[in-house]
Amino acid sequence: MAALKSSPPSMRASSPEFESPPLILPSPGKLAFVNVRGDNAVRLERWRRRRRFGLFCGPAVNLRFSPSIKSVNDYASVSVAVNDKNVLVCVCNFDANDALVIHFGMSGKNVHQLYAIGKSTNITWHKSSVEKLDRQELLKQKGCAIWITGLSGSGKSTLACALSRGLHSRGKLSYVLDGDNIRHGLNSDLSFQAEDRAENIRRIGEVAKLFADSGIICIASLISPYRIDRDACRSLLPEGDFIEVYLDVPLEVCESRDPKGLYKLARAGKIKGFTGIDDPYEPPLKCEIVLQQKGKDVLPLCEMVETVISYLEEKGFLQA
C-alpha cells in the first residue's frame, strides 16, 4: 500500500509550521505512530478549537468520526474502510507539549483499537457488561460531580459534609473528596507548587469522574483557584454532570475565620504562594450555583445545603 502522508490538506508538509516524515502503513494487527508538530501556536490553537481532525489518505469510504475532542487530554478515533478486509484506524490528540499526535494502525473488520494516551501506549478500553445506567437504576439516583470551590476558610469542607449528610438522610449515596484528605493518601506525593497543584486537581477530577460513573453523587471540596484546571475537570464528565458550586465569601471574612491559621502564616511570609494573599483566585464565570456572602452576613448552612439539593432535584439527579 502506498505511503500515507502525515499532513492533512491544510497542514501540508510544505508548510513551514508543520513537518513530519511520511508514514508507511504497517501490516494488519500492527500499529505505527507519527507526530505532527507545529511551532505556529496560533495555527495550532485554531486546530484545537475546531475540535475535529480529518484523514488525508486520498479517496475513502465509510469515514466515521467519534465524538469531537473537548480538551487537551481527549482523543478522537477515526475509522476508514480501506478494502473489504482491512480498516485504517486513526487516533488524534494533543500531547503535553501542545503537539498534534496522530496514531494510525491496521486491523481486520472487527476493529481492535490500541491507544496512546499520555505516557501509556498500546492500551485499549474494556467495556463492562454493567454500565452507568444499570448502576443508577440500582441506586435510584444519577451520578454527578459537585465541585465546591472558594477561598481557604470560605466553608467548603463544612458545606460538603453537611450536603453529604443531607443526601444521606434522603436515602441518597454520596462521597466527599476533600482537598486536605486526598493529600493524606492519593496525592501525598504532591507539593503546593503550581505544577503539583494542577496535578492535584487533575487527579481529583479523574476520581470524581469514576465516582459519577458509578452512580454516586461525588462532592469535591477544594480551593482549585484556576479556571483552566476546573474547566479541565468539567470536560471529563458528560455535559450537565459537573456542578460547580462557588462559595463567594470575601477575603477579609475568610481571613478573619482562619480556621487553620494559614492566613496568619502567609501574612508573615512563612507560606509562599497562598491563594488570596500572594497567589490569585479566579472566580468561576459560569458556574451552576453561587452561594454569596455579603459582608458579615453569614448564609445559614442549612439554607446552602437546601439550595444544592433543590438543584439536584430539579435536574433529576435524585432519581434514576
**Residues known to be catalytic:** 224
**H or E element in which residue 218 lies:** strand 217-221
Contact 115, 76 (CB under 8 A): no
Q: How far is CA 306 from CA 162, 188, 193, 303, in A?
A: 10, 33, 36, 5
CA gap 224, 147 in Å, rounded: 9
CA gap 232, 167 in Å, rounded: 27
Residue type, 118: G
CA gap 41, 257 in Å, rounded: 44
Torsion angle of C-alpha atoms 4, 7, 13, 17, degrees rounded to 10: -160
Taking the mean position of all CA atoms in its chain, how far away is CA 67? 15
CA gap 270, 189 in Å, rounded: 21
